[in-house]
Structure 1
Amino acid sequence: MAFRCQRDSYAREFSTTVLSCRPAELLIDDGSGNHKNKEKLSGYHVVLEDTLLFPEGGGQPDDRGSIDNIPVLRVTRRGSEADHFLLTPLAPGSQVQVQLDWERRFDHMQQHSGQHLITAVADHLFGLKTTSWELGRCRSTIELDSPMVLPEQIVAIEQSVNEKIRSRLPVIVKELSPDDPEVEKVRGRGLPDDHAGPIRVITIEGVDSNMCCGTHVGNLSDLQVIKILGTEKGKKNKTNIVFLTGNRVLKWMERSHGSQKALTSLLKCGVEEHAEAVQKLQNSAKLLQKNNLNLLRDLAVLTAHSLRDSPDRGGMIVLHRKDGDSEFMNIIANEIGIEDTLLFLTVGDEKGAGLFLLAGPIEAVDMLGPRVAELLQGKGAGKKGCFQGKATKLSRRVEVQALLQDYLSSQSAEE
């Protein structure tokens, strides 16, 4: 059967009867993309005599809304029925009021009808066939069966679809019986295995007819505008068109305008000069970075000579510098070059993470290096009298110094 949401995509509220209610569970994604992190909710699957809430299908996500003011967290199709997941049970046979989250629904209607329009125009103008599409949270994509779509083709497609929106072409929904000869003339990618009842056909007058279970606008004028943001490389020999329709275009423009205002304030120039101003800043940053690196290298050499020539350095040299890097430490180690002295260098946040280097006699470094890494709660590797790596607890440098001092004391005692 076709649900009320499919018969009238603009209906926002109505009354119906509860047919059944059974215990169920729902996995909620935490947004990390890891299926292992999903939260499991215990609730109920409620089946209604009819529903305003669209169950996911045809590339369109499911609706949200409420039943007797109880939030519906998910709607899924099961054969000819729709399961509404609620945390509160409802009594079979009771009359209930169903309310729709209209903002979400209308957004889905705009994106879905926009996809049908782009798909039809891309095929008509250039023979570009749609193989799949995705209605995303912020943007939508259409996968085309072509390894490349030219920029001038995108311009032509966008111009054509917006002309048809301005022409206010009707979007008509028909229901055909499966044995109707008209079905064979309608574009589509096949029906689900559990499909039951009539076949819905969405027709954009004079443009396209397509089998579809989703909800759609009644006139292309409700799409307002379509903006194609560009193309992306898809699966093998496929190209994805990225697009926005209707209210999403307005929100995108609002975000873009906000970014432009912020950049205008920061860069102290007009919008048309943003790119040039950023390029100048990048060039300046690269030059400063290069100069800073040269200064840091010179400082490393001077520091190494100062440490090497210090009369009270003993058998161990220790140095920490916040604004150094691995090259800074390696220059110092190479410049000092004292094979009978332990050199312990660290750079980074003295109370947090950073880098470390231990150099000296090969036998001592091979034994002490892993222990130093363990004390600093880090990882490292070494060869030929040098062990270095990353640390997460530079605050434990004092413990490392104590370890090195104990080693030197034990060596003196043996001698």
Structure 2
Amino acid sequence: MTTLIQLGEQAKKAARFLAVAETKDKNLALEAIVAQLKQDESIILAANEKDLALAKENNVPETMMDRLLLTSDRLMTMCADIESIIRLADPIGLVDKMWKNADGLTIGKQRVPLGVIGMIYEARPNVTTDAASLCFKSGNAVILRGGKEAFHSNQALVTSMQKALASVNFPEACIQFIADTRRETAKDFMTLNGYLDVLIPRGGANLIQTVVKTATVPVIETGTGNCHVYVDKDADLEMALNIVMNGKTQRPSVCNATETLIVHEAIAESFLPLLEVAMTPFHVELRADTLSSRYLSTSIPATEEDFKTEFNDFILAIKTVASSEEAIEHIQTYTTHHSEVIVTNNYTTSQSFLKQIDAAAVYVNASSRFTDGSAFGFGGEIGISTQKLHARGPMGLNELTSTKYIIYGSGQIRH
């Protein structure tokens, strides 16, 4: 705990520095980070190779290996995401609105940093640079605690970023990394009251629920993604096929991938065989309810647990329904409130779906894979919040701020 307290003290001091830093200086520091990451590419990729070798020894699944993998192209994409954050407007200091009250006081609501943000996350090294750059631009110090699977990658990335900060006279403690991967240290991190202003977990259901149940500091819950696609009776079947294929097969290990397909019975006989053929080259395991299985040559009976599960793999649960109301009821029963999709050309049905589905992102005729800070124009994200308090959906710069009231008077006193 002593080391964590030292990190916390350093972060609080750095947060005070960041809170008053000029936008141009923060952007200059982010430019230095991009340059340093590019300069250190060989070091970073060598560190990632160590992580990949250890993951292979530990029989980590292929889909998880893909999340862990860094390549030159992926590192350049991470740098491009930081460059897009540089181009975004800085929310800090902005006054959302200003008004005069009956006492003649001029009252404004101003954007301010949250302070010190703790990040606890699993095996995706890109989260390290996304979180660090978003927190930095929004005036927050960050303490990062990545998973042991990406330890060497994360350490190399943070070392590179700290080197860049020092080169432009910013405290290295603006971005810090917990090198101790023990569970006990993670639990201590979750109870670092007095130092962390908020803790954001990002990863699988087990990690997120552990943080929610254990943490004594405020938590923004980012979601597991049990995402559904409902193909309505009025859907364009070619469009539906493309959307389901993209949602399931493009990158099945991510939280916005499709996990359950719901099909209206009026088009199930036409659509499901097409889907099965399209899925075959990807070796997707189809877990179907009784009615759906009638239209599939090869499937496994779906269980109650399948409809609750975020597979993060080439597995798709399938249910056939008699109406859009039944589809909505199924989604509301099993949703993790992340991303839900309807494919339909019926405007009334689409509007009913939009109104009734309780999720951070609800789509009409588009893939759930777009629930992403970069795709939404936020220059990356620190996570996708599935709760309703403070922030919901992809969390960009604005979601990493709070507000304070600033009041101008001319000697008023209250009677």
Give the TM-score of the pair, scaled to structure 1: 0.21
Greater relative contact order structure (CA < 8 Å, 6+ sep): 2
- Greater fraction strand: 1
Structure number with the higher helix fraction is 2
Q: Which has the larger radius of gyration?
A: 1
